[in-house]
């Protein structure tokens, strides 16, 4: 076998190895990484930037604010001894407070201070999402994608991811790009996938950076551009994406 033929075979093998890395991370044909979740935990709330924050009303845990709630006949927690949930419910309903609504959703989801109820959790997340809270919109999207407290509906999931993505939430932009890449809940559209992955990548979202590099490498939604592919692989590698480092090493061997 001639050296030229051997080099051609090596280049082909490297090409397919990098392509396999990309398709695995991008989630092609249902494989690869799952959609990125919105971080949440009992006793925490989320602000509109997507950052989870500890509940500021520390006295909700002490019962000090139970006084006066007994007159609220509509509050299902009044008289139960659960001052924390009574106060959260009051803020969520009477003040229409989005953080309290999200915290109630988290409590129902985790069974924290109340019996676990995924339908009620989904209902409270939805109330906050309809007020335009970006992280709540992420949570609603996840509920629809996984069938948590609602019927599984990928089109609804895509709709809510778009709402959060349009508010600049990087993980929502990543997930929406993945939906367009796979044709999940939306019509498959590589250009739209690139559009949303680029937005997330520009916010230093490492997996989106790797996927964007893969799109340039393969020519999906953009013209093939090895230099652009290496640029985004390098950024992803610098942010800890192991697959991106592997792709860079393969591309370096190809140039030898």
Q: What is the pLDDT of residue 66?
A: 30
Q: What is the pLDDT of residue 28?
A: 41
| Whole-Å CA distances, 33 to 6, 30, 36, 174 | 34, 9, 8, 11
Query: Does the pLDDT value for residue 40 go beyond 80?
Result: no
Q: 52: which strand partners?
A: 46
| Whole-Å CA distances, 169 to 50, 107, 211 | 7, 23, 17
CATH of domain 172-256: 1.25.40.10
Higher per-residue pLDDT: 139 or 41: 139
| Whole-Å CA distances, 166 to 11, 49, 216 | 40, 12, 24
Percent of the chain with pLDDT over 70: 67
Domain ranges of the chain: 32-152, 172-256
What fold does the segment set 32-152 form as a domain?
1.25.40
Return d(Cα 163, Cα 138) in angstroms, integer.
8
Q: 204: which strand partners?
A: none
Q: By the 8 A CB rule, do 90 and 69 touch?
A: yes
Query: Does the pLDDT value for residue 14 go beyond 50?
Result: no
pLDDT band at 254 (very low <50, low <70, confident <90, very high): low
pLDDT band at 36 (very low <50, low <70, confident <90, very high): low
pLDDT tens sequence across 223-242 = 999 999 999 999 999 999 98
Across all residues in the chain, what is the average pLDDT? 77
Check if 32-152 and 172-256 are the same fold: yes
Query: Does the pLDDT value for residue 197 go beyond 70?
Result: yes
Query: Does the pLDDT value for residue 76 go beyond 60?
Result: yes
Q: What is the pLDDT of residue 224?
A: 94
pLDDT tens sequence across 111-139 = 888 889 999 999 999 999 999 999 999 99
């Amino acid at each position: 076998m001639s050296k030229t033929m051997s080099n051609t075979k090596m280049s082909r093998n490297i090409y397919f190895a990098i392509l396999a890395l990309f398709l695995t991370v991008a989630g092609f044909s249902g494989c690869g990484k799952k959609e990125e979740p919105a971080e949440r935990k009992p006793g925490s709330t989320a602000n509109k930037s997507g950052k989870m924050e500890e509940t500021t009303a520390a006295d909700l845990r002490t019962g000090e604010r139970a006084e006066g709630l007994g007159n609220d006949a509509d509050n299902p927690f009044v008289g139960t001894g659960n001052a924390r949930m009574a106060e959260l419910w009051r803020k969520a309903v009477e003040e229409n407070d989005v953080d309290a609504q999200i915290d109630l959703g988290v409590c129902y989801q985790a069974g924290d201070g109340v019996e676990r109820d995924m339908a009620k959790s989904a209902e409270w997340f939805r109330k906050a999402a309809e007020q335009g809270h970006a992280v709540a919109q992420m949570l609603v999207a996840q509920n629809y994608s996984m069938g948590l407290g609602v019927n599984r509906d990928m089109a609804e999931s895509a709709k809510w991811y778009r709402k959060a993505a349009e508010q600049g939430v990087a993980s929502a932009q990543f997930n929406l790009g993945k939906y367009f890449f796979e044709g999940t809940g939306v019509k498959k559209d590589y250009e739209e996938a690139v559009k949303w992955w680029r937005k997330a990548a520009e916010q230093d979202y490492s997996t989106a950076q790797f996927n964007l590099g893969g799109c340039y490498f393969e020519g999906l939604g953009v013209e093939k551009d090895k230099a652009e592919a290496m640029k985004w692989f390098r950024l992803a590698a610098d942010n800890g994406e192991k697959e991106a480092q592997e792709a860079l090493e393969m591309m370096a061997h190809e140039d030898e």
